[in-house]
Structure 1
């Protein structure tokens, strides 16, 4: 199942060695001009034709860094992008949860592998690396070309096809000039890298893809397209790659989530022995459903707290925001997600507890709630053996990914309490 600084020393000698490694002979290999005019959709159809084709034989003049598909090779020159990628979930797309499931598959089950790899580790060379790993014939931690399935969605996964580099124009709109010598023969300019449809290649199922209750299981691009963000062409990249940063922050990042939702908890009132309050949560900066996929769960809790700060169970109200589906993906039990610009109000009215001193509103986020339940169920299967260690590690990660997004405590004035 598919489903984010350190100082850099630059010295003349190191730079000379690095450029030498990129290939000493460029006299007969000028940088290419921009791609011929082509519409984004046609480019993307070819660029994301899965399974991706192997890179093939590299140009004769390429040095070791230019041949390599390893993210660390790209990071020799593209330092900030590499450091960002290391912190992003794209670099962890082949985490233990997915690896554990793949370990239960046969090495030759390429079609089954591709159901995951097409987005999580799309390079053909990564597929080969996985097959060797599953077959027990992987004799070294990395291949000569640097491709490793464990690296997940790499720089090359988006930017390299048949040993050519592709990417957006420079910030000023320019591309490599003809005849200018650049490492790896420069890059082919493609405007599609700034188009939301580039992200849709993995974050949107095809119209005939798997659906529940008439809704595609992965429908993020269409949710965006139907929102005002889509109508205003505020691309996925504008939020998830600000200033061209390769961060792709999302539901796992509290600050990213806080920037997209607004929450209010006005002072409660007490009358006739009851506490009454309201809590609002609004999707003010999320360009798709919140949360967009079936894996996260957002929990709104409102309840009275005692002197020790703990919530009193008999006073607690709990509301779930998310798309709740069965573990076998056969049923959608509920869909309480917020649509873009939607505001939701929760009303609280409960008897005032004798020991209550405050009313608390709390919002908790469990980014991997579905995964955690799925891993627990899978680990209960005694026949699940090969991937058990990896899946156990994935469960620990999923259980540790939750966080408190918001918490507010409003004092319950003792003067307002009814006489004993």
Structure 2
């Protein structure tokens, strides 16, 4: 039971088990976990440049900093992660941290493994004020061995950047095209090929779904949608406006010859480069309600878009996710012999954290007596946060059509 439970932790979302980046030597080295400490005797940096606190990065990169502060990258070590420290082994915890807190310096805030003299010395040097948030930080992606890396400049050529060199803050940076490629995101957003499978599918196949889509063939990368204009917000399923931009709900009502009401509805994926919703956490509910002449409302149809698996991750019950460019179709016929139905409503609700809610509720029931009060409180806080993440994505009402003339 314990080994099954561990699979529902955050590491199933970001687990890194030596994901292959052999097709790209830079990425293979850049995400070679565990990452090295930030040291390089051949590089000279001022005291200010050596401070990797994201607040310092904001001095020159305010827009990126503001975006990051609101992002889930900045919340990767939250209540939902921290409560599980009590039930994870050291190796399991460290595996999770490879993606939730990539730098050894930030990992030292969460794991005893990373509290040796060398790492703590590096932390004191690069985070002299301490680390209040050991989540995914600017340096997690952009700094290795005291060398900055990033995408091509929008204002200067690669040669200009290289020629400026040490005259720029932190000695400039090395241009890497990979920062604008979906492959840069793969190591933390794709289960390893050797990972657990259900019905022939990995638990997480975001990169594969994109790779097999027309978006990949047309050169549309993850960054085009999730980092437009190089924003560092990484908006996703928790952002209603962002989600609405990728979907098109279409529906109509009609009367049949025998007086029944025919509902034809379609939720189409029009601007999403992977299955919707991706992975197995989120569920989307398509519900239809009838309202009669005296204002009474009743649910008549519900379908679920998502991938539903057991909390132990050992069984898949269904997978109704929508592939890029495809649709989820609902066709329902209801009786209305007395012509009592006045309107029909279509409501689409998104539960971004359904699987976590189900899993954490089970943990609270079964583990309340075996975990500390501190851990229990973190679990309760996380469960509350995830319950509050639900939102109405779309709602529409149509009048019931009149009967066809006989």
Return the TM-score normalized by structure 2.
Answer: 0.85
Corresponding residue number in structure 2 for 1:114? 94
1:337: Cα distance to partner? 0.4
Q: 2:381 aligns with which of 374, 388, 393?
A: 393
- The alignment partner of 1:209 has SS state of coil
Deviation at 1:40, TM superposition (A): 7.4
- Are positions 1:296 and 2:282 aligned together? yes
What CA distance in whole angstroms lies between the structure 1 residues aligned with 2:132 and 2:95? 14
The residue aligned with 1:170 is 153
Partner of 1:371: 356
Alignment of 1:144-183 (within 5 A): 145-146=126-127, 148=131, 150-172=133-155, 174-175=157-158, 176-180=161-165, 181-183=167-169
Contact 1:304–1:311 (Cα < 8 Å) also in 2: yes
Is 1:54 paired with 2:37?
yes
Q: 1:79 aligns with which of 62, 80, 98?
A: 62
Question: Which secondary structure does the structure 2 equivalent of 1:150 belong to?
Answer: coil
CA distance in 1 between counterparts of 2:174 and 2:218 reads: 28
Instruction: Give the aligned partner of residue 224 of structure 2.
Output: 238
2:76 counterpart residue number: 93
Aligned-residue Cα RMSD (Å) equals 2.7
Partners of 1:95 and 1:118 in 2: CA distance: 15
Post-superposition offset of 1:356: 3.4
Cα pair 2:348 2:392 within 8 Å, conserved? yes
Deviates more, 1:50-59 or 1:210-219: 50-59
**CA apart distance, 1:157:** 0.6
**Alpha-carbon displacement from aligned partner over 1:251-310 (angstroms, at most 9, x marks no partner):** 111111111111112234365342211111111111001011110001111121246866
Q: Is the 8 A contact 1:40 1:192 kept in 2?
A: no
Unaligned runs of 5+ in 2: 1-8, 14-21
Using a 3 Å threshold, how does the CA distance of structure 1 residues 148 and 116 change in structure 2: closer, same or farther?
A: farther
Task: Provide the rounded CA distance (Å) in 2 between the counterparts of 1:185 and 1:310.
Answer: 69
Q: Which of residues 316, 319, 323 is equivalent to 1:335?
A: 319
Structure 2 partner of 1:216? 202
Gap change, CA 1:260 and 1:173, over 3 Å in 2: farther
Say if 1:40 and 1:191, in contact at 8 Å, map to a contact too: no
In structure 2, the residue matched to 1:410 is 398
Is the 1:130–1:149 contact (alpha carbons within 8 Å) kept by the matching residues of 2? no
**Matching residue within 197, 200, 213 for 2:183:** 197
Q: Conserved in 1, the CA contact under 8 Å of 2:342 and 2:399?
A: yes
